[in-house]
Amino acid sequence: MRHLAVATIGAVFLIAASGAALAAGGDVFEAKGCGECHYTQGPAREKTIDDQLAKKGPELWYAGSKFQKKWLTDWLADPKPIRPMKFNDLMVENPADHPKLSGGDVAAVAGFLMGLTSDAVKAGKVKPKKNPKGRQIFIKKMPCSGCHQYAGRKGKIAGGRSGPSLVDAGLRLNPDWILAYLQQPKVFKPVKMMPVFVGLLSDKDMLNVARYVANFKPKKSKKKRK
């Protein structure tokens, strides 16, 4: 009985402590001005093209479902362009001037962002895999590669520049999020910036192309994982 009480108090304390860590990351997020360009509370707020164009940065309310924690942590400390072009712009190059975090702020904010998740993403659906069907969809059958960069033959960067780069997307994106995004784009991006493939691609082909994209990794890290 006494053990149970101690264990219960311990558990309550742990829950409270992890809540506090989240709040601290959220405080850093606001104190550093991140909230001026990113919103962190879902559901999606954009209703019109004007809403989309008014955004200064991508929405982060489902960051914990979209990103991989290791990538996010590294990127916050040393951000590199994801979109070849400036956000919401198709003429100007990405200025590569994203604010950086340092010291303890990196882990605190990464922890806060990883806690922001969406129920629309179901875990364990997509196993990254070399996938000839997915490749065919990405490169030939559908215009994915016309808008997204990826590592082509011998690692040479190929593909279009209007969408976010998918080079090494397998290190950045949660495989299950890629599928959820293809299946339910409106949950994440209610204002259409990418063609909707619902009805064009079968569920099976969405899974194939999600697996294919989730397997975009540098050659070295692919070997390591095997």
Contact between 214 and ligand HEC by CB under 6 A: the answer reads no
Closest separation in Å from C-beta 14 to ligand HEC: 26
Sequence-ordered alpha helix ranges (H) in 32-56: 49-54
CA–CA distance, 62 with 187 (Å, rounded to integer): 10
Question: Nearest-CA neighbor of 205 among 149, 154, 130, 136?
Answer: 136
DSSP-derived secondary structure letter, 87: T
Measured CA to CA in angstroms, residue 179 lies from 17, 37, 93, 117, 118 at distances of: 33, 26, 28, 15, 13
Q: List the interface residues with ligand HEC, window 137-156 (CB under 6 A).
A: 138, 142-144, 146-148
Q: List the interface residues with ligand HEC, window 5-64 (CB under 6 A).
A: 29, 32-34, 36-38, 56-58, 60, 63
Q: Taking CB under 6 A as the rule, which mask of x and - marks residues 184-203 in contact with ligand HEC?
A: -----x---xxx-x------
Closest separation in Å from C-beta 16 to ligand HEC: 24
**SS3 for 201?**
strand
Residues of this chain that interact with ligand HEC (CB under 6 A) are 29, 32-34, 36-38, 56-58, 60, 63, 76, 81-83, 87, 94, 98-99, 101, 109, 138, 142-144, 146-148, 162-164, 178, 181, 189, 193-195, 197, 209, 213
